[in-house]
Amino acid sequence: MQQSEEQLSCRDSFGDLTWVQRKGKAEKIAAGANGSLWKLEGSAVGGRQIYQWSDANWKKIGTKGFTALAIDPNGVPWAVDNQRMLYKRTEEKWEFIADQIVDIAIGADKTVFVLS
């Protein structure tokens, strides 16, 4: 799938289904219950880079390459890298959680689900 120059959209309000466009491209997006917005962008070879929407721009977070992304209700990103290792962002670093993971999802009650 080729990336396009289309605007990235996200749901801004759950009640009235208002949508707000955000500039940029993304392969995957994820949002936290706290309103934080994250994306994966770049080449699948070596893993995609993770970005957070901050101050009307996308801010690159670290240099790891990722293939899957989920955001917990507190806005903390969890991501799977191209080596199938699961990480959680803690302060300014990625904390290793588990290996042999393919995908991740996080429920509203903070339950983490992984596909291995």
Structure confidence at residue 102 (pLDDT): 95
Cα torsion 46, 114, 86, 83: sign? negative
Structure confidence at residue 113 (pLDDT): 95
Structure confidence at residue 13 (pLDDT): 53
Structure confidence at residue 6 (pLDDT): 47
User: Please, what are the averages of pLDDT over each run of 10 residues along the chain (116 residues)?
Assistant: 46 58 84 91 83 91 87 94 94 92 94 94
Angle at the Cα of 35 from the Cα atoms of 5 and 51, rounded to 5 degrees: 45
Structure confidence at residue 2 (pLDDT): 41
Which structure tokens are listed for 4?
């396009």
Structure confidence at residue 25 (pLDDT): 84
Structure confidence at residue 56 (pLDDT): 87
Domains of the chain: 8-115 (2.120.10.30)
Give the predicted TM-score (pTM) of the model: 0.79
